[in-house]
């Protein structure tokens, strides 16, 4: 009994020693709480960092636009979504990544409209593509189970989905897959703009039309995000298409006036009071609507 216990202890101690060895190999600072991570790590992780002369470009979450569309009273329209069963037809990493973004935007949209059954179908499609792209840690069975458990609690479900996409983004950046991460964002943005232009066409709602115009800078950011990978298969077509879209967006007039922000120190909140007006003609709106539909049709084909 004693001997067996000792053997177990020894095995455990060896495991602990191994764990410490791995931990020390990571060069982590130990107990100095103000110490920051040394820059010598840069070479090991430089793929995730300082893109384009130190500039990092962000793409807004598709969920925000879905909120706007629903808030404007636009009714649920399944026809504007990609079809989950098409997931098996996406064979290249390019198509898988871009449709991971598209299905993610669709998932956010159906969740906001409380379409439980559709949400499960889109989540399954997302999980399939996540597995194929090696980001199964972000879209795992635990996510599916938590998703199912929280159905009916919209905020929780949207948080879960966003966190999963953030984990995926982190994983891809850590594993020299920035181009895949950029495509996921691109897919989400294209789908989101597709929703917005469709909703604008259906409702002529001024706020939704403005949201289309407000994408002028994001399309530019997206091009900047994708341009480093221009020479990779399929990227050039997408970037060229986005540049054509950017040309149309150049006709959108955005007037910005700076107004001093107000600060509530106690609440750690700054209210940004600056104003932005968007002027987008019906003709330009139509051109954007047609171009984004064309780009999106190519991506989901």
Partner 1 sequence: MKKAGFKLLVVAITIFSFNSVFAQSPCDTVATLCENNITKQYISDGQNYRALLLDDEIAEFNMVLYGGSTYRFAACSGFSDGNLIFSVYDRERNLIFTNKEHSNAPYWDFKITNTLDCIIEAQLDPNVSASGCAVLLVGFKQ
**Single residue of 192, 199, 221, 289 touching partner 1 by CB under 8 A:** 221
Q: Determine which residue in the list 14, 50, 83, 243 makes contact with partner 1, applying CB under 8 A.
A: 50
Per CB under 8 A, 107 contacts partner 1: no
Please say whether the beta carbons of 299 and 188 come within 8 A: no
Which of 87, 119, 123, 158 touches partner 1 (CB under 8 A)?
Answer: 158
Q: List binders of partner 1 among 167-186 (CB under 8 A).
A: 169-170, 173-174, 185
User: Interface with partner 1 by CB under 8 A: which range of 17-25, 77-85, 234-242, 291-299?
Assistant: 17-25
Residue 28 contacts partner 1 per CB under 8 A: yes
Query: Would you call 113 helix, strand, or coil by DSSP?
Result: coil
CB nearer to partner 1: pick between 155 and 231:
155
Q: Is 253 helix (H, G, I), strand (E, B) or coil?
A: strand
- 92 φ, ψ (degrees, to nearest 5): -90, 155
Q: How far apart are CA 162 and CA 269, in angstroms?
A: 23
Closer Cβ to partner 1, 46 or 88, answer by number: 46
- Least Å distance, CB 91 to partner 1, is 25
Which has the closest alpha carbon to 248: 210, 205, 292, 211?
A: 292
Stretch that binds partner 1, among 41-49, 74-82, 115-123, 291-299 (CB under 8 A): 41-49
Measured in degrees and rounded to the nearest 5, phi and psi for residue 109 equal: -65, -50
Site for partner 1 in 108-147 (CB under 8 A): none
Contact of 284 with 273, CB cutoff 8 Å = no
Tokens matching residue 157: 């479900």
Q: Does 92 bind partner 1 (CB under 8 A)?
A: no
DSSP string, 118-165: HHHHHHHHHHHHHHHTT-TTTS-HHHHHHHHHHTT-HHHHHHHHHHHH
10 binds partner 1 (CB under 8 A): no
**Does the protein bind partner 1 through residue 297 (CB under 8 A)?**
no
CB of 34 to partner 1, least distance (A): 6
Give just the sign of the alpha carbon dihedral 63, 68, 74, 75. Answer: positive
Site for partner 1 in 233-292 (CB under 8 A): 256, 258, 261, 263, 265, 267-276
Total residues at interface with partner 1 (CB under 8 A) = 80
Q: Which is nearer to partner 1, 267 or 301 (CB)?
A: 267
Among 3, 44, 152, 266, binds partner 1 (CB under 8 A): 44
Output 8 or 78, the one with its CB closest to partner 1. 8
3 state DSSP class of 83? coil
Q: Which residues pair with 253 in a beta bridge?
A: 279
């Amino acid at each position: 009994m004693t001997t067996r216990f000792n053997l177990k202890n020894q095995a455990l101690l060896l495991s602990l020693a191994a764990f410490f060895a791995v931990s020390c190999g990571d060069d982590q600072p130990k107990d100095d709480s103000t110490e920051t991570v040394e820059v010598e790590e840069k070479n090991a992780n430089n793929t995730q960092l300082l893109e384009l002369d130190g500039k990092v470009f962000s793409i807004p979450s598709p969920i925000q636009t879905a909120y706007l569309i629903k808030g404007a009273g636009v009714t649920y329209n399944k026809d504007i979504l990609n079809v989950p069963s098409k997931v098996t037809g996406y064979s290249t990493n390019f198509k898988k990544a871009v449709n991971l973004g598209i299905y993610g935007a669709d998932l956010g949209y159906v969740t906001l409209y409380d379409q439980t059954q559709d949400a499960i179908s889109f989540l399954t499609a997302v999980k399939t593509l996540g597995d194929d792209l090696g980001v199964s840690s972000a879209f795992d069975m635990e996510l599916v189970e938590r998703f199912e458990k929280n159905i009916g609690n919209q905020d929780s479900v949207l948080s879960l989905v966003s966190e999963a996409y953030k984990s995926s983004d982190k994983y891809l950046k850590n594993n020299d897959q920035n181009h895949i991460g950029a495509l996921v964002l691109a897919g989400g943005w294209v789908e989101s703009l597709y929703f917005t232009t469709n909703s604008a066409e259906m409702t002529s709602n001024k706020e939704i039309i403005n949201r289309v115009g407000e994408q002028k800078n994001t399309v530019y950011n997206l091009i900047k995000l994708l341009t480093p990978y221009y020479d990779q298969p399929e990227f050039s077509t997408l970037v060229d298409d986005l540049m054509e879209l950017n040309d149309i967006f150049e006709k959108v007039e955005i007037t910005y006036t700076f107004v001093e922000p107000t600060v509530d120190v106690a609440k750690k909140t700054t209210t940004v009071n600056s104003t932005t007006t968007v002027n987008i003609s019906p003709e330009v709106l139509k051109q954007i609507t047609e171009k984004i539909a064309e780009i999106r049709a190519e991506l989901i084909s």
